[in-house]
Amino acid sequence: MNRTAKIALIVTGVVLACVIASCGVVLALRDWVPGLAGCEDVDTPTKTAVITTKTRIEQQWPQLAPIQQVHWQEHEARARSCPEIGPMDYTMDGFAVLTPERAGALPATVAAAAPEVPDDLRPFAPAAPSWLRVDGTDLLLDKASATVYFTRTTD
């Protein structure tokens, strides 16, 4: 083996050792790296407080107007990543109390399973609801309380 080949082997060995050491450092610091890179805490999803504004809900679902009361919130549809890849989608969930006439006019005939209601919205759920799916939508209606449960994820 000539001198050039020995130098090439030594350089290759040093480079390989540096790569392995770098991987070890990255693994050791993996929990700190998002914070060091300026990323937000990826373990806690963000959500809004419960909102009672009717306008946005009546715009999203005009067939529900006029709404008597509404309680809704938005939350992140998926866990965050760091760095963030692509825009975040949000899910809107809530309850809208309609007039008895409006609730009676909605075409809801098929029984539906109880929805998974976010913890912050549970106090606004009707007592012992009997959910029916509003035909052609994802809306759920409890006719006895004239309450609609809605959910929508942004695209």
18 vs 10: CA distance, rounded Å: 12
Determine the pLDDT at residue 15.
83
pTM: 0.70
DSSP-assigned beta bridge partners for residue 96: 70, 148
Which residue in 67, 47, 46, 45 sits closest to 57, CA to CA?
A: 67
CB 152 within 8 A of CB 91: yes
Determine the pLDDT at residue 3.
84
Q: What confidence tens digit (pLDDT) does each residue in 89-114 have? A: 889 999 999 999 999 999 998 999 99
71 vs 77: CA distance, rounded Å: 19
The DSSP symbol for 90 reads E
CA 103 to chain centre: 28
Q: What confidence tens digit (pLDDT) does each residue in 101-149 have? A: 999 999 998 999 999 999 999 999 999 999 999 999 999 999 999 999 9
| Statement: residue 38 has pLDDT above 60 | no
Tokens describing residue 138: 């994802």
Residue 145 CA: distances (Å) to CA of 78, 98, 127: 32, 9, 8
DSSP per-residue letters across 22-49: HHHHHHHTTTTHHHHTT---TTS--BPP
